[in-house]
Amino acid sequence: MHEEPHTPKPNFIRQIVSDDLAAGKHGIVHTRFPPEPNGYLHIGHAKSIVLNFGLAEDFGGLCNLRFDDTNPHKENQEFVAAIKEDVRWLGFGWDDRLYFASDYFSNLFDYALELIDKGLAYVCELNAEDMREYRGTLKEPGRDSPFRDRSPAENRDLFQQMRAGEFPDGSKVLRARIDMASPNINLRDPVLYRIRHGVIHHQTGAEWCLYPMYDFTHPISDAIEGVTHSLCTLEFEDHRPLYDWIVSNLSVPTQPRQIEFSRLNLEYTVTSKRKLTELVSEGHVNGWDDPRMPTLSGLRRRGYTPAAIRDFCQRIGITKSENRIEMQLLEDCIRDDLNRHAPRRLAVINPIKVVLSNYDDNACEYLPAPNHPQDPSLGERRLPFCRELWIDRADFQETANKKYKRLVSGGLVRLRNGYVIRCDEVIKDAGGEIQELHCHWYPDTLENNPDGEKVRGVIHWVSARHGEPAEIRLYDRLFNIANPGKKSGDYRSDINPDSLLTCVNAVVEPCLAAATPEQRFQFEREGYFCRDSSSEKLVFNRTVTLRDTWARNTSEET
């Protein structure tokens, strides 16, 4: 089917980049995506990935993947591997531009010494509580540390002793010497280095006991790598003066520019790394790749496509306005993509047996069915049809009004891509539970309805002899309200207890036994599903329903 070409959506960052190139400020656009490897990437990171890699791609520039690994207590190699896999899965690459902030630990140490020698950094011995008190408030200026006026020589010697491991954790830090009266608290002599003993870093091992802070590491790493436009979310806007102070007071090779944009806040989920970690560690979900999680690995396992996520990021755009994006928009993106590309299949989630009383018990025929009714290029498959079939319990009622368009006692219905049948008898067990339906088969109705008979509608089915048993997991939104925790104060109390319903007795058409992990389908009349990638059994995860089933509560404050 025809694919629309990618047309970048205009935004203020794209305009800044265009203006900078036109003014000759840069010969090439160079961006970076700098995740911290302390968890898995989520849908909010996708916005940054698409922006940074996409901007470089559109302008013929470069984008680095750089891990901000300055906090080894929470970081590990598992997260590094997962992040690289997610970025590649989204369709982006970094060639030979894979970096770690830890690659620059020696450079950063030397730059810290440069600040010390210039009288712009000092070793401080205030404890954390005293440092907070000295820092002041938004209404009151801070006070100078009693250690602020040490000489550069003394500070250099102390800092090198810190590097050598001669002081315990928390006893000393290195601080920038800027302005304790600044209205921007981030400029009130921020901490640049802290001591961390007994930590094994996933890249540098036990080589360092002295670790730089992010606000010191980030601008220097950008400058070393030749980044021209350092794109950050709005929480770093107040940190930009510190970013600029660092690069302007050091002999770094380039002068990158930081630009901020609004982060992605998505309804009916959380994207806080802390909350996501709690969901995993407290057992509310089954790992980082649980299909209910907003992580890229969870969305991937649920059946989302890279194209749908990139489309979503393009649709929401880049602005400086904080807002919450409707979950429906993300779901519409995957529906649009899968509606075009996903082959159609038949699956019965809650089966009830149908016996065709007038069909030869030994007969079997194969009925042609298109793989995609709007895309003939996908071809067709053959559906085995025999005397016993499975239909879904929801597709039968003993009695129903005229609006019910499925099978009823004495009524006619068409089997999808098949014949018309009529229900003649309902077989029940001693408890009154329906066990099977005995139906009449109309042999000449593959293309026509029976003369003089009214057919209520069309239902799906699977051959009882040929169908494959499968487990189907019906995933839904993880939270019951758009803004989890807003009313209750605890986001956990808003977890949707029906976010996962497991159907272990489902039956699917036989060709689905060969489905590969993550292969996606439309189960006709049921929704979009994909083969689960973490189970050896035949398991299908629901990606999204065919239509939006969540009625928006317009009175709810979000």
pLDDT band for position 323 (cuts 50, 70, 90): confident
pLDDT band for position 1 (cuts 50, 70, 90): very low
- CATH label of the domain that carries residue 481: 1.10.1160.10
Catalytic residues: 36, 263, 273
- CATH label of the domain that carries residue 418: 2.40.240.10
Last residue of a domain, one of 398, 428, 460: 460
Q: Are residues 125 and 198 in the same domain?
A: yes
Q: Is residue 552 part of a domain?
A: no
Q: Is residue 556 part of a domain?
A: no
Last residue of a domain, one of 426, 460, 494: 460
Q: Which domain holds residue 443?
A: 347-460
Mean pLDDT of 100-110: 98
- pLDDT for 552 beyond 90: no
Domain count for the chain: 3
Q: Are residues 397 and 320 in the same domain?
A: no
pLDDT band for position 4 (cuts 50, 70, 90): very low
Q: Is residue 549 part of a domain?
A: no
Q: Is residue 551 part of a domain?
A: no
Last residue of a domain, one of 411, 438, 460: 460
Q: Are residues 292 and 413 in the same domain?
A: no
- pLDDT for 3 beyond 50: no
Mean pLDDT of 392-407: 94
Mean pLDDT of 546-554: 67
Q: Is residue 478 part of a domain?
A: yes
The pairs formed by 114-120 with CB atoms below 8 angstroms and a separation of 24 or more are 114/250, 114/251, 115/176, 115/177, 115/192, 115/249, 115/250, 116/152, 116/155, 116/156, 116/159, 116/174, 117/152, 117/156, 118/152, 118/249, 119/152, 119/177, 120/176, 120/177, 120/178, 120/249
pLDDT at 551: 55
- pLDDT for 556 beyond 60: no
Q: Is residue 7 part of a domain?
A: no
Q: Are residues 335 and 253 in the same domain?
A: no
Q: Are residues 331 and 361 in the same domain?
A: no
Q: Give the tens place of pLDDT for each residue, 378-387.
A: 999 999 999 9
Q: Are residues 309 and 253 in the same domain?
A: no
pLDDT at 555: 39
- CATH label of the domain that carries residue 135: 3.40.50.620
Q: Are residues 217 and 121 in the same domain?
A: yes
pLDDT band for position 558 (cuts 50, 70, 90): very low
Average per-residue pLDDT in the chain? Answer: 95
Q: What is the number of helices (H) and of strands (E) in the chain?
A: 12, 29
Q: Are residues 20 and 87 in the same domain?
A: yes
Q: Are residues 423 and 317 in the same domain?
A: no
What's the pTM?
0.93
Mean pLDDT of 67-79: 94
Instruction: Specify burial of residue 397 (Cβ count, 10 A radius: 0-12, 13-18, 19+).
Output: middle
- pLDDT for 160 beyond 80: yes
Q: Give the tens place of pLDDT for each residue, 122-148.
A: 999 999 999 999 999 999 999 999 999
- Name the 3-class secondary structure at 374: coil
Q: Give the tens place of pLDDT for each residue, 266-284.
A: 999 999 999 999 999 999 9
Q: Are residues 540 and 456 in the same domain?
A: no
Q: Give the tens place of pLDDT for each residue, 245-270.
A: 999 999 999 999 999 999 999 999 99
Q: Are residues 274 and 257 in the same domain?
A: no
Q: Give the tens place of pLDDT for each residue, 334-352.
A: 999 999 999 999 999 999 9
Q: Are residues 387 and 513 in the same domain?
A: no
- Name the 3-class secondary structure at 63: strand
